[in-house]
Structure 1
Amino acid sequence: MSTLRYKLIYATVNRATTLIDTSIHNNIHKQFEFEKQTVLADKILTNDEKTYAIRWLTKDYDRDKIHFNSGTKRICENCNQECLATLYCEYCKCQMESLMPNMVVEWIPYSNLKNINYLTKGGFSEIYTADWIYGWYNEWDSEENQLKRVERPGIQNIVANVVLKKLENVESANQSWFEEAKSHLTINNKWASVVRCYEKAIHRDLHSGNILYSQFNNSWCVSDLGFCGPADKSSTSIYGNLPYIAPEVI
């Protein structure tokens, strides 16, 4: 295989996605076919680069087919169940609680984290940045029956930039807290756009600028949760984007 020009591949895939007309390509199948044909028609990419790009698009297509339960099913050669994904099986054990290999929850040894630096402090946690040596799981190897981590030709160890969150009062967490966290992770992997219930929490900065609509996904979401906090927090606290207020009032 020739040397792949990853920046050029990413630019081509992003261009194909940007060119989608949702009034014409109005479902995930039409969108995937348009993206694939756009990549195949590209005059700059090599055949190997086009193969890589289409495999990348197929991974996203697999995710969307499972999300919307739509598409032609096939029989998995491992578990003999009908599955929608092309590159893997969503019903095999390694996928029971994860939509794709790169969403598998795993314990990362501290020794695999380098260059840990304090970034900022949020309402309920401290935030750090770090480099994750070896990176995430990328695909399921059906021949070796194991998950494979992300690889790049010519690069021995992949380094991923990650964000670490140190929660407050985590010392008092019990087993039920971890079970609740696990359920949230499972739901987030299966259907990330599901409406979540934040008990006794108030957004505190809800306005039209924080309500976003995605024409591509035909979905709505509430953004900018940075000021969100518990409802029992002091009512004298100030939240959100403030207009001009005289200093003596503050």
Structure 2
Amino acid sequence: MPSNICPECNQKDTSYNWCKPCNLKHFQNDFNNWTSGNAKVDKFIQDAQLNANNYWRVIEWIPYDRFKDVKQIGKGGFGTIHYARWIDGYIDKWDIENQQWKRYYKDQEVALKKFDNFVNFNDMEIHYKTYASFTGSSSIRFYGITQDPETHSYMMVLEYVADGNLREYLKINFNNINWKRKLFNLYNLSERLMNIHKLDIVHQNFHPGNILSSNFKDTYSIYISDFGLSKLIGENQNNPEKKNIVSVLPYITPEVLSSDEKDTKAAMYIHLELLLTK
């Protein structure tokens, strides 16, 4: 529970060092000072900022020139991942004295995720919304959106995870992890999945390559990623704009392949598969 008093309005903070009513005004006052060049992208980011209950929920439009040391480090079914250093770092709290946002971790390591099979922002919106809903809890931290100046593709700015994904980690470390640690990690993943299902969202692409961590030895730093196939429960699956399935076939649930209505119980199909993963 928040216990600090906001120095601006003298009311209790909404969360630690975060006063939502005051920060809402600061974000609003800054809306005319930036744009992505796309009204829908701007609206998405602005709505997220106005609804942020803490600094973990804040996302921004980040110009591409605010990154350095950009290099490709991976490629998957949905797109490419680049490593970069974010010159400015993320928003932490409002600096009353200097009347600007105070930022942490300048030159912060981040991952830039570009979607090769999604044409425009509309295609990626459910992906963005899901990340924004879970950033810092069930999924890795979502810092904002940028745009590749050469291809004009939108890119997600995400937390960089040093240990990478579970599939690659287990190839090297499987025999070094005892069963107590494995079961703790599976229990933690179950909670992450449950948080996603509480929002009536099914992942549909849950496999070891989409389980990430900065430190797999720390149960609480394991996150779920890649919501490219995720859908709202009950959503019409006969959408004419539905994209081809791009995923890892052994881990796609049967109802995704058959285009039947999704059910959260199907996620347990994948969760049981993970027990057998090496």
Instruction: Normalising by structure 1, report the TM-score.
Output: 0.44
Q: Which has the larger radius of gyration?
A: 1
Higher helix share: 2
Higher normalized contact order (CA 8 Å, seq sep 6+, divided by chain length): 2
